Amino acid sequence: MSEDRTEEAPAYRYTASLAGEIETRWQDTWESEGTFHAPNPEGSLATGAPVPEDKLFVQDMFPYPSGAGLHVGHPLGYIGTDVFARYHRMTGRNVLHTLGYDAFGLPAEQYAAQTGQHPRTTTENNITTMRRQLRQLGLGHDPRRSFATTDPEYYRWTQWIFLQIFNSYYDTEQDKARPIGELIEQFERGERLAEDGRAWSELSATERRALLNSYRLVYISDAPVNWAPGLGTVVANEEVTADGRSERGNFPVFRKNLRQWTMRITAYADRLIDDLALLDWSDQVKTMQRNWIGRSHGSHVRFAAGDRTVEVFTTRPDTIFGTTYLVLAPEHELVDELVTDAWPEGTASAWTGGAADPRTAVAEYRAATARKSDLDRQENKDKTGVFTGSYARNPVNGRQLPVFVADYVLTGYGTGAVMGVPGEDQRDWDFATAFGLEIMRTIAPPEDFEGEAYTGEGPMINSANPELGIDLDGKPKDEAIAEIIAWLEANGHGNGTVQYKLRDWLFARQRYWGEPFPIVYDENDLPVALPEDQLPVELPEVEEYAPRTFDPEDADSEPSPPLSRATDWMYVTLDLGDGPKQYRRDTNVMPNWAGSCWYHLRYADPVNSEAFCDPVNERYWLGPRVNEHGANDPGGVDLYIGGMEHAVLHLLYARFWQKVLYDLGHVSAHEPYRRLFNQGYIQAYAYTDSRGQYVPADEVTESEGKFFHNGAEVRREYGKMGKSLKNVVTPDEMCADYGADTFRFYEMSMGPLEASRPWATKDVVGAHRFLQRLWRNVVDEQSGKHRVSEEPATEEDRKALHRAIAGVHEDYANMRFNTAGAKLIELNNHITKVYAKTESTPRELVEPLVLMLAPVCPHIAEELWSILGKDGSLAHGPFPAADPAYLVDETVEYPVQVRGKVRSRIIVPSEAGEDEVRAAALADEKIAACLDGEPRKVIVVPGRLVNVVP
RNA sequence: GCCCCAGUAGCCCAACGGCAGAGGCAGGCGACUUAAAAUCGCCACCGGUGCGGGUUCGAAUCCCGUCUGGGGCACCA
């Protein structure tokens, strides 16, 4: 397509090579002029002049600088935000738009482990490549605000935020995080006691520290975590797929008790759910977050089992009369205490697991469960379990309930124990059926109900015990739940409660390429926060970048982080207030998500060395704006664009950190992203031959609906773009063949930004032809001078122009870039039709067209603007305004329908009233012909149509 | 199994409940050319909006059911 017929083409035809020349030149100009520098109200990015009150903060999701380079799908969102940002900048707003790099992570480390090249080198090379690829697209970013999470000046503040979290606790009374110092004061004043009831003054210094550590928002716990031996690190719950493997690398994951940093995100569970209501996000993402947090209201119920008590969690305490057994998770701590030495008389053989006594049966069952991977537990939903030999007593009816151990009860949720209510829970029904347990209904199903467990609504039955003063019979569900909870609480058998699926966030990784913890350990092995002036804690040089990895199935292996082998770095002598002492550094690094939790804040104040973000700058760019967004505005980035894949992880973590910083008074916004927009993906066709091998997609030809490669038919599939699928198209190719403006226009015109669609290189030429025609309407291809006259445009021209202006305005503002593009083509087609064959085009048509084109195709627009004799850039406007006088016509054509079908058309003056329109319609001969006397009804929609009902 | 989203011309896609077609690709005809490509101009095909019902004067649009495709969740008591 990059045609070598330059000798024939006129010297100033808009070809790919001319586009390339124009584009490079304007990119250089923008850079040297600082065209996209957005002033801050405070600090070194302030200009001294007051900043406009009207601002816009647009942000793209942080890219990871991959070594593979970009394909045409990657910049879709970046171009979308750029068009939006440029449009608003032209209307006079102060627009913050930039792009940084989320550069810590596994690929650079794995590459380092293979080649010995330092991850920093790999990362920096990749960033350089990506910057070059993006620069040629002409994105209007403020380069001063770009950074990488791997910059020590950036992760210094990531560590600083970690320390803020470390030095806080969650006050459940005030429902906010507070500085740990305020907790100390409460202990000192005696307002709080240690868990064992001792006063602060009775505790040793070490005990005091341990006590405080148990309150911190980030704490070290010795709890079951997800250990992936094949990856050599632990991972967060969120990073484990449904089939029990690591999202990264797809390795098996095992539960293992390890000492690990954990963030108390669960303290924020309610606020993270409730504040979703304040956000302009899609319901889909909100629902995913709600489901992930998984709040369910229910109650704890305590069942006496001998001298022990089994506490269960249930969302259906109303069904308690239907309980016929209890189940504990295999890992439950009470199992050892409840298991008996011999089977009770008459124990069914199905309950024994074939063992001679309960102790053996439980031990064997537990061992079998431990051997099962999560995948096995997942796939095999047959109910298994064994009887412990013990019975518990149902407090509402005194019934004896056999206590089982079964792996369908999960240890991490609720109390790890459930009451078996087969009548109203299908899982319990399945278990009861498998073990021959009694099934009793306590809710009457409808007469025609043919299922097993009945989980629907209905009147309660079999649920009264007059002696205890309980009578739920006949009552609806909500009433029954409220009543039984009140009874349980009054009688000490339980209490209403709320459960969450969300668990605390495992925050340490045994890797190299991540942020080190700003923590050292003293001789008591207790963590000590480093003072702020010792930040950043930089990564040491090491011999081996990779952690030790193990056989992916070796569940008994232990993590061995790379930093633990940097012994010179690990042991330090510091004076932290009580004289020089030796300390040991923490050898974990933070997970990948840390850096992306707060980058929006750093964008707002990127070079501040005194603070992570000056409060004045934070308030200006991110603060709540009640006047624009209403009284409940939480603040945050005005528009955040990215893919759906971060719906839970990144967006939940970032919201959590934002709320902590808000509670501690560091920021004025309590949500990071006011508006979230999920873009679609550009996908591509791939082709396989008869052996199932991929063939290069650009060599495939189509004929009569079939596809051929070298004469042989190939099979088409639809999906991702990727090297292995041999269907990658790069922005570099598109820029070389057509220019960046053509590429940008095409990407935006393919469809709405939120839709996924297939890439079609052959369609790109349409966008190129449009720009070529437009160029020719403005520029003489022979001389390169403009061919614009000062002659006035016609009435008809002006109508076309102002209709376009009005439509394009609205389309840009609502991110309908595809229809904005269509309207520009339409206007240009009109101009071409009227003026292409004449000497010149009226300036009053050309200038607005060029300005309206600028957000999508900024380089050609700048060039045309300058050829038209304008000084400077059009990046800051003006943007044309539509004159309403040209939006109305003198006459209107009304289609006239009879019974909803168009039968005729009439033309009436646009100011004609309904009656006149009606009369004109009925007078039309074609309509009169359809009518048999007076019509029953005539509907006149002003400006639209007439519908006659005979 | 459950929950979202989407189905309009050969393809990508437009249409406040009001004329199904804005725009692009592909296609046809013509101009330029020795010719082809590229460029330019013109043209229109064909679909009654996945399917079946309903509401309405009027439905691509709203409601119910159903099919297909894409995404998410999945023993969470």
ipTM of the complex: 0.93
Spacing of A370 CA from B14 C1' in Å: 58
Instruction: Select the more confidently predicted residue: A909 or A864.
Output: A864
Least confident stretch, A29-33, A545-549, A762-766: A545-549
Interval A228-240 mean pLDDT: 78
> Where residue A224 falls among pLDDT bands split at 50, 70, 90?
confident
Spacing of A914 CA from B53 C1' in Å: 35
Residue A878: asked if its preceding bond is cis (omega within 30°), the reply is: yes
Give the nucleotide with minimal C1' distance to the Cα of A893: B19
Is the separation of the CB atoms in A806 and A887 below 8 Å?
Answer: yes
pLDDT of A930 reads 74
Is the separation of the CB atoms in A186 and A174 below 8 Å?
Answer: no
Is the separation of the CB atoms in A401 and A392 below 8 Å?
Answer: yes
Question: How far is residue A252 from each of residues A223, A237, A255, A876, measured CA to CA in Å?
Answer: 19, 13, 10, 54
Integer Cα distance of A83 and A635 in angstroms: 23
Integer Cα distance of A620 and A622 in angstroms: 6
Spacing of A816 CA from B58 C1' in Å: 28
CB-contacted nucleotides of strand B (7 Å): 3-5, 10-16, 18-20, 22-26, 37-42, 57-59, 70-77
Spacing of A716 CA from B51 C1' in Å: 27
A190 class by beta-carbon count within 10 Å (0-12 exposed, 13-18 middle, 19+ buried): exposed
Query: Is the model's pLDDT at A856 over the cut of 70?
Result: yes
Measured from Cα to the C1' atom, the residue closest to B16 is: A944
Interval A547-554 mean pLDDT: 82
- Please report, rounded to a whole number, the percentage of residues in chain A having pLDDT higher than 70: 97
Give the nucleotide with minimal C1' distance to the Cα of A757: B12
Interval A744-755 mean pLDDT: 92
| DSSP label of A313 | E
Integer Cα distance of A850 and A104 in angstroms: 42
Measured from Cα to the C1' atom, the residue closest to B70 is: A756
Q: Computed from CA positions of residues A196, A199, A204, A210, in that sequence, does the dihedral angle turn out positive or negative?
A: positive
Give the nucleotide with minimal C1' distance to the Cα of A502: B76
Question: How far is residue A901 from each of residues A893, A905, A906, A921, measured CA to CA in Å?
Answer: 16, 12, 15, 14
Spacing of A688 CA from B13 C1' in Å: 28
Spacing of A938 CA from B19 C1' in Å: 17
> Where residue A909 falls among pLDDT bands split at 50, 70, 90?
confident
Spacing of A546 CA from B63 C1' in Å: 59
If you average pLDDT over every residue of chain A, what do you get?
89
The conformational region for residue A932 under phi > 0 = left, psi -120 to 50 = alpha, else beta, is beta
Spacing of A679 CA from B4 C1' in Å: 16
The string of DSSP letters for A781-828 reads TTT-SB-EE-PPPPHHHHHHHHHHHHHHHHHHHTT-HHHHHHHHHHHH
Spacing of A876 CA from B67 C1' in Å: 51
Integer Cα distance of A265 and A303 in angstroms: 31
Integer Cα distance of A404 and A328 in angstroms: 6
Measured from Cα to the C1' atom, the residue closest to B17 is: A941
- What residues contact A641, with CB distance under 8 A and at least 6 apart? A58, A59, A60, A61, A77, A80, A81, A676, A677, A678, A679, A753
Give the nucleotide with minimal C1' distance to the Cα of A772: B39
- What residues contact A317, with CB distance under 8 A and at least 6 apart? A298, A299, A301, A481, A484, A485, A488, A494
Spacing of A899 CA from B17 C1' in Å: 15
Integer Cα distance of A513 and A118 in angstroms: 10
Question: Is A731 in a helix, a strand, or coil?
Answer: helix
> Where residue A1 falls among pLDDT bands split at 50, 70, 90?
very low
Which amino acid does the sequence have at A223?
A
Give the nucleotide with minimal C1' distance to the Cα of A941: B18
Tell me the per-residue pLDDT of A177-203, one tens digit each, with 9 for 90 and over.
Answer: 999 999 999 999 999 999 889 999 999
Integer Cα distance of A778 and A787 in angstroms: 6
pLDDT of A172 reads 93
Q: Output b/e per residue, A62-100; b: 16+ Cβ within 10 A.
A: bbbbeeebbbbbbbbbbbbbbbbbbbbbbbebbbbbbbb
* Helices vs strands, H then E, count in chain A: 29, 35
Q: Output b/e per residue, A388-409; b: 16+ Cβ within 10 A.
A: bbbbbebbbbebebbbbbbbbb
Least confident stretch, A247-251, A692-696, A709-713: A247-251
Instruction: Select the more confidently predicted residue: A357 or A477.
Output: A357
Spacing of A10 CA from B33 C1' in Å: 16
The string of DSSP letters for A174-201 reads TTEEEEHHHHHHHHHTTSS--TTS--GG
> Where residue A21 falls among pLDDT bands split at 50, 70, 90?
very high
Spacing of A931 CA from B20 C1' in Å: 26
- Residue owning tokens 């010995």: A116
Spacing of A2 CA from B34 C1' in Å: 25
Query: Is the model's pLDDT at A175 over the cut of 50?
Result: yes
Instruction: Select the more confidently predicted residue: A594 or A244.
Output: A594
Instruction: Select the more confidently predicted residue: A707 or A631.
Output: A631
pLDDT of A5 reads 39
Tell me the per-residue pLDDT of A367-413, one tens digit each, with 9 for 90 and over.
Answer: 888 776 555 666 667 889 999 999 999 999 999 999 999 989 988 78
Query: What φ, ψ does residue A567 adopt, rounded to 5°?
Result: -65, -30
The conformational region for residue A346 under phi > 0 = left, psi -120 to 50 = alpha, else beta, is left
Measured from Cα to the C1' atom, the residue closest to B71 is: A644
Is the separation of the CB atoms in A397 and A390 below 8 Å?
Answer: no
Interval A540-566 mean pLDDT: 83
| DSSP label of A397 | T
Spacing of A2 CA from B38 C1' in Å: 11
Spacing of A756 CA from B66 C1' in Å: 25
Angle, helices A858-867 vs A764-778, to 10°: value is 10
Query: Is the model's pLDDT at A266 over the cut of 50?
Result: yes
Measured from Cα to the C1' atom, the residue closest to B14 is: A819
Spacing of A848 CA from B25 C1' in Å: 28
This prediction has a pTM of 0.91
Spacing of A781 CA from B33 C1' in Å: 19
Measured from Cα to the C1' atom, the residue closest to B25 is: A763
Give the nucleotide with minimal C1' distance to the Cα of A419: B77
Measured from Cα to the C1' atom, the residue closest to B75 is: A408
Tell me the per-residue pLDDT of A279-335, one tens digit each, with 9 for 90 and over.
Answer: 999 888 888 898 889 888 889 999 999 899 999 999 999 999 999 999 999 989 999
Give the nucleotide with minimal C1' distance to the Cα of A374: B75
Residue A536: asked if its preceding bond is cis (omega within 30°), the reply is: yes
Spacing of A342 CA from B14 C1' in Å: 77
pLDDT of A32 reads 96
Least confident stretch, A18-22, A384-388, A604-608, A897-901: A897-901
Question: Is A908 in a helix, a strand, or coil?
Answer: strand
Give the nucleotide with minimal C1' distance to the Cα of A242: B74
Spacing of A44 CA from B9 C1' in Å: 57
Is the separation of the CB atoms in A315 and A497 below 8 Å?
Answer: no
pLDDT of A707 reads 78
